[in-house]
Each structure stands twice: as structure tokens, then as C-alpha cells.
Amino acid sequence: MEIRRQAGNGWLELIIEGRLDGSWADSLDAELAETVRAGHHRLRLDLTGVRFISSAGIGVLVKSYNQLSAIKGRLVIGAASSQVRTVLEITRLHDLLMPVTGDTAPETLTQGATLVREGLVVQVFDLSPTAQLTCRWSADDNETVLCKESLFSVGVGAFGEERDACRERYGEFVAVAGAAAYLPADGSETADYLMGSDARPVELHARRHLTCEGGFAHLARFEPMPPRTTVTLSEVAAACLQVTRGNAAGVVAIAEASGLVGAALRQAPAMIGDGDFFAFPDVRTRLTFTAERAFARSLALIVGVVQRAGGPISATEVRPLDPDGGFEGHFHAAAFPYRAFKKGRIDLGEAVHALFDTGGLQGILHLLHDDRAIAGVGQSELTRGVCWIGRIGGQR
């Protein structure tokens, strides 16, 4: 089987020749999956060169059709051999995959403003331009975070009814849009999550947390400018801050990750008593650092804040994001298996719940800039994604 690509008029056309049977179905499945992963969500297939198609081949076409439909994309067969047409008619899929309406016009999306910044292209959509976020941070071991849909939070905490028992499991957590996930520091190395609503919010006992509540002013989609294929977390965060035209911003992002860099607790802080948690060399047994970029080719839910150096958020809650130290931030990421998500405007709650509903939470990291002179692996790198951005207008 041979597959050629040809772009035009808002579609990517795949010209397929040969036999589409059980021997080649997996190859086509992989090609379609990689094409969608590359950002092409409107596919037109030319099957005039396909001499034979089996149920295995039909299964791949229907699978891709359903996946693209779920993210408001399209897959159509623009042309087909007589043998393919016969099979489509027998399986009653002809009208589905070869629509008689000839709907081949690209979907029209509301266009936002375009921002180009240091090899990064950002398309910005206004959500509620006057909306602001109120940011609060606390190191009070007796706090309970109610994970309402109107807030997002990162920190160290745990699920559970009894706070004393939770202290032994405290680990990195992330909460957004009514969903919360954390990585227990009890040796299990298995992330857990709960989903709630404003009527019944998830309760999370926190040792320390940074929480923002309010509305997002903008939605932004980003991708690298060729020839670059990835952008760093600090570049995306700085672009988000530029969009708000403020000194500090809250950001929630869903992004395709080339690899994430950070750390996670291996031992709950409460388990070492009054000693210095970060004392060397014991800190090596209490924290796990990524020796190389982790969760490659995953879909990351990234939550946190960014500010210009010396901004309004306490220095105890943020760390430098870039080599120059011009931007500071505090971000946690939950990693999931890759799945495509639709283009244009996206509802935050719908997108977050879709991630957790499909399962497969792989882990949670406190994202860091590893700037060690020799062994450092740098920053998290992202391929493309979408951000919800809010200007931080108050602290308490």
C-alpha cells in the first residue's frame, strides 16, 4: 500500500493505492493517527487506487471518522474505486463516508488576533475581556481546598476524610474545573483523581497551595513557527502574560508534550518531623527529579501562574521559568495518553472532564527549569496546545 499527501482548500488529502486489507489496516491506522497528531483535522481520502478493501480497512476508516467527529473534525472519501464503493454500499456506510451533499468546504471558525513571539504563533480569542482572577496562597497545614468549578489550584495535599491520615500521603496536586488529581507520596507512585461539581465539590486537604478563582479573559491556541517543532513552557507562559498586558496571569493549558521536566514528592513532608525537608543528601530520597524529559508524546493538563520577576505573587510560591530569570511561575502538570482535541474555541470544563473521563492518568509533576550546568535537562517542551488565560487582579 502507498500513501501520498496533498494539501489544499482547507483539507489534507491522502491518496491511497494498493490493497486495504488486514495486512495493511494497521499501517493506515498509524498514518491517520499521526496525521491527526500533526494537527490536521480535516481529511479527504482518494481511494481510486485501492483495488481491494476488507472489513479491517473499513474498521480503520470508521474509527478515524468517529475520532475526528468527536473533535469537530471531518473525514470524507472524496473519490473511490468501484470495488470500494460496492463495499461501502454493502456495509451501508456510503452516505456516511461519501456524503452526497458534497460537503467539502472547510469549517469556518471565529478568527482571533494573531500574536507572533520568538518562534511561537498564538491565536487569541476573547472570552470575557474584563474578567480577572483573585490569587491566594497558603502554607497552613490545616486548610481544606474545595475544588469548585470556578477555581484552579496547585500545591501539596491529599484526598481523604481524616486530615491526620492524609499527612502521610501528601503529594503534588492539581485541581481545575471541578476535577482534582494528586500523586500520593506513599511509595505507590500511582496518581489518583476525583471529579465533582459546585453542588458537591471535591475536598482536598492541603499542606500548602496556590489557588486562583474568577474568570478567564482569553483563550489562546499556540504552536511553534517552522522550522521549530517545539516551544518551551517559559515561552508559552510569557506569551500568555503578554496577552493579558498585566504583571501576573493564571493559566490552564492542555498541550501536546514533547517531554516534561520537573519533580515529585517521594516522601510526605510531615514524615520527617521538624527537620529541613530539602537538606542534602536526604532530599534525594524525598524528591524524584526527572533525569530526562518525561511523559513524551503525552497530552498534558498544565495549571499554574506566571509573573514578571518580582511580581505580586510571593517569591516563596514561584521559581524562575527561563534561563534569564525574567519570568517566574509555579506550574503543575497531569499527564494523559495522547488524544486529539478540537480546534477553535473550546470549553474548559468540557475539555478537562473529557481528559479524566477517558482515564489513563499517567502521573503528576511540579514543573521546573532544570538549569544545572552539566546534568540539567532544561525545560518542558510542548508541540502545540490551547490555554485559558486570566489576569490576576488581586491577592489575598
Per-residue pLDDT of the chain (396 residues; tens, 9 = 90+): 889 888 877 788 999 999 998 889 899 999 998 888 777 888 999 999 999 999 999 999 999 898 888 777 889 999 999 999 999 998 889 888 988 654 444 443 345 578 888 788 898 999 998 999 999 999 887 789 999 999 999 999 999 878 887 888 899 999 999 999 999 988 788 999 999 887 889 999 998 899 999 999 999 999 998 889 999 999 999 999 999 988 999 999 999 999 999 999 887 776 555 555 445 555 566 778 898 999 999 999 999 999 999 899 999 899 999 888 789 999 999 999 998 877 778 899 999 999 999 889 999 999 999 888 777 889 999 999 999 999 998 666
Is 106 domain-assigned? no
Last residue of a domain, one of 71, 97, 123: 97
| 252 DSSP β-pair partners | 303, 388
pLDDT at 350: 92
pTM score, whole prediction: 0.78
Do both 65 and 128 map to the same domain?
Answer: no
pLDDT at 106: 41
Do both 64 and 128 map to the same domain?
Answer: no
Residue 301 near residue 254, CB atoms below 8 Å: yes
Residue from 347, 73, 340, 370 nearest 216 by CA: 347
Do both 131 and 269 map to the same domain?
Answer: yes
Q: Is 324 exposed, middle or buried (0-12, 13-18, 19+ CB in 10 A)?
A: exposed
366: number of Cβ within 10 Å = 23
Q: How many domains does the chain have?
A: 2
Is 314 domain-assigned? yes
Do both 122 and 51 map to the same domain?
Answer: no
Range of the domain at 369: 113-136+166-395
Do both 206 and 230 map to the same domain?
Answer: yes
Is 21 domain-assigned? yes
pLDDT at 283: 54
Do both 224 and 81 map to the same domain?
Answer: no
Do both 287 and 217 map to the same domain?
Answer: yes
Q: Where are the beta strands (DSSP E) in 215-297?
A: 218-224, 231-232, 248-259, 262-265, 287-289
Do both 49 and 182 map to the same domain?
Answer: no
Residues 6+ apart with CB under 8 A from 171: 156, 157, 158, 182, 183, 184, 185, 186, 264, 265, 268, 364
Do both 65 and 192 map to the same domain?
Answer: no
Checking phi first, is residue 150 left (phi over 0); if not, alpha (psi -120 to 50) or beta?
A: alpha
Is 148 domain-assigned? no
Is 68 domain-assigned? yes
User: Rg of the Cα trace of the chain?
Assistant: 23
Do both 201 and 344 map to the same domain?
Answer: yes
- Tell me the C-alpha distance between 264 and 127, whole Å: 34
70 phi and psi, to 5 degrees?
-65, -25
Is 107 domain-assigned? no
pLDDT at 202: 93
Do both 301 and 266 map to the same domain?
Answer: yes
Is 293 domain-assigned? yes
Residue 176 near residue 304, CB atoms below 8 Å: no
CATH assignment of the domain containing 82: 3.30.750.24
Do both 47 and 127 map to the same domain?
Answer: no
Is 129 domain-assigned? yes
